[in-house]
Structure 1
Amino acid sequence: MPDAVPASPATPPPSFPGLVARLRAAGCVFAEDEAELLRATARTSAELAAMAHRRMAGLPLEHVLGWAGFCGLRMRVGPGVFVPRRRSEFLVHRAARLTRPGAVVVDLCCGSGALGAALAACAGPVELHAADIDPVAVDCARANTAPVGGRVHRGDLFTALPPELRGRIGVLLANVPYVPTQEVGLLPPEARDHEPREALDGGADGLDVLRRVAAEARHWLAPGGSLLSETGERQVPAALHALTGNGLRARTEHCPERSATVVIGTRPANGA
């Protein structure tokens, strides 16, 4: 969990230009946009002052606001919860192309549950399940998936899921951690200091968790069902090997505008 932020001083909130200047001095690149969001979210002047203080102390903007924008929706987030990245919208868009009405959709390593909730909102109705090992993330995911009827389970990867889902999953979202261990320290402070290490660290080459998912995915996917996971460009060959080595037909899709790369593994339709 992140370190506590010192209580904000009992001073009046700055003017808008003053707030922008203070955010910029604290290193906020999009200071004007952040100032607008803080002003729009705060219910009182005292709350605005407190939120500004927390942001300038280094907390992620989304944790300060209590929500993150994702696929045109507001997703609840809070301290200790991985903030969904805008580049992951590409994964949701690709998953939507594969999602049929009534399909079983699973958001594994769900964090806030943003991916599953967004997919259900744009491609529903679906039977949505989400799972994470972190109880803080599970509580957040329950709030985000409730409007689309999602069920959230706590546990380690597939062990969290109801056994009756084996062989029935049409779309498996697995936005697993994929930052190599030695590179976690190079992440922006907002991520490395305020998000769970287990949501970032993917092991020596960043693919430890993906390999664990790929090893079991074929047994949980329906014939013709697909696993989708985000990865780094230089990790693509090894990621594809992890999928094909476990009986899935694999391919890659890339979005230059979002710097997003998705690997897709599909169980053969003949059920093999």
Structure 2
Amino acid sequence: MHPARDALAARLRAAGSVFAEDEADLLLDAGDGDAARLRTLVQRRLAGEPLEYVLGWAAFDGHRIRVTPGVFVPRARTTVVVSQAAALLHRYDRVVDLCCGAGAIGVALLERVGALDLVASDIDPDAVDVAAENIGDRGIVVAGDLFDALPGRFRGAVDVIAVNAPYVPTDVIATMPSEAREHEHRVALDGGPDGLDLHRRIAAGAGEWLRPGGTVVIEVSELQSAASAAAFADAGFATRIERDDAVDGTCVVASRPRLTCTEPPG
């Protein structure tokens, strides 16, 4: 029996936690025997603050990814992007973690593939700060709107652009769980009227940055996947849709055509 843990779990369960026992264990560990600290953490959680913000980290692909209030919290479903991107990469390849948030995709790819020439980019300065902390000296983190801040040496030379761009339709944000809609920055959620504004912009701009045969791997909902794939196909990419039911994740894999050699006339 663990009376303190059981009592905390009961409070969390009464507040609506589905995984009350697991959360109690994590909060007790974070409290580290300091009653005042534990009390503060528990009060924040009972007030509805996301557990990841209370703890200061989110679990993702076997890593603890540092997160701060407002920054998009990485979800397990995004590992479908990591798996598909990692399968295309070799050590020292050039990679962009676009709309990087806390840099979770970049961190996971570094672990799965090894050393990479990695640039992570986000428009949210808070996310850039946290991503820089998570990625450290293993890559570069820049602040900008999509491709705007990428280094010139990446132009036409990127092997994989891995993306979790916002794809929630604007009107649907109000129906999201309160932990997301009330705590995460809107810029990390809002994908425009149909959710695919960023997808279309990325499809239009990615070809300039990819090497011939380079690939965009971009997360999307299962219902939106055909429309996202069509946006990339219209921009000249060869596309396929990948689904991982184990994590409830879907992504579009869109490859720039390779150069073809033709015989000179004569």
TM-score by length of 2: 0.94
| Matched AA of 2:158 | I
Q: Secondary structure at the match of 1:202?
A: coil
Of the three residues 47, 66, 69, the one matched with 2:56 is 66
Structure 1 equivalent of residue 142 of structure 2: 153
Q: Determine if contact 1:222/1:271 at 8 Å carries over to the other structure.
A: no
Q: Secondary structure at the match of 2:41?
A: helix
Q: Determine if contact 1:172/1:226 at 8 Å carries over to the other structure.
A: yes
How far off its partner does 1:269 sit? 1.8
Deviant stretches of 4+, over 3 Å: none
Structure 1 position 104 matched with structure 2 position 58: no
How far off its partner does 1:255 sit? 1.1
Structure 1 position 144 matched with structure 2 position 134: yes
Structure 1 equivalent of residue 206 of structure 2: 217
How far off its partner does 1:109 sit? 0.5
Structure 2 equivalent of residue 5 of structure 1: none
Of the three residues 7, 14, 33, the one matched with 1:18 is 7
| Matched AA of 1:225 | G
| Matched AA of 1:226 | T
Q: Determine if contact 2:81/2:163 at 8 Å carries over to the other structure.
A: no
Q: Deviations over 1:231-252 (max 9, x none)?
A: 1111122111110111111110
Structure 1 distance, partners of 2:10, 2:90, is: 49
Structure 1 position 249 matched with structure 2 position 249: no
Structure 1 position 116 matched with structure 2 position 106: yes
Q: Secondary structure at the match of 2:182?
A: helix
| Matched AA of 1:179 | V
Structure 2 distance, partners of 1:53, 1:260, is: 32
How far off its partner does 1:39 sit? 0.9
Of the three residues 138, 161, 164, the one matched with 1:175 is 164
Structure 2 distance, partners of 1:122, 1:239, is: 27
| Matched AA of 1:268 | P
Q: Determine if contact 1:254/1:262 at 8 Å carries over to the other structure.
A: yes
How far off its partner does 1:132 sit? 0.6
Q: Determine if contact 1:224/1:271 at 8 Å carries over to the other structure.
A: no
Q: Determine if contact 2:124/2:187 at 8 Å carries over to the other structure.
A: no
Structure 2 equivalent of residue 11 of structure 1: none
Structure 1 position 230 matched with structure 2 position 219: yes
Of the three residues 193, 217, 220, the one matched with 2:182 is 193
Change (3 A) 1:47 1:170: same
Change (3 A) 1:46 1:222: same
Identical residues among aligned pairs (%): 50
Change (3 A) 1:250 1:29: same
Change (3 A) 1:271 1:150: farther
| Matched AA of 1:121 | E
| Matched AA of 1:94 | Q
How far off its partner does 1:118 sit? 0.8
- Matched residues, number: 258
Structure 2 equivalent of residue 162 of structure 1: 151
Of the three residues 242, 252, 255, the one matched with 1:266 is 255
Structure 1 distance, partners of 2:48, 2:260, is: 50
Q: Determine if contact 1:179/1:203 at 8 Å carries over to the other structure.
A: yes
Of the three residues 72, 76, 81, the one matched with 1:82 is 72
Q: Deviations over 1:202-251 (max 9, x none)?
A: 01110001111110101100111110111111112211111011111111
Q: Which runs of 5+ in 2 are unaligned?
A: 262-266
Q: Which runs of 5+ in 1 are unaligned?
A: 1-13
Structure 1 equivalent of residue 36 of structure 2: 46
How far off its partner does 1:15 sit? 2.2
| Matched AA of 2:224 | Q
Change (3 A) 1:66 1:199: same
TM-score by length of 1: 0.92
How far off its partner does 1:34 sit? 0.2
Q: Secondary structure at the match of 1:34?
A: helix
How far off its partner does 1:121 sit? 1.4
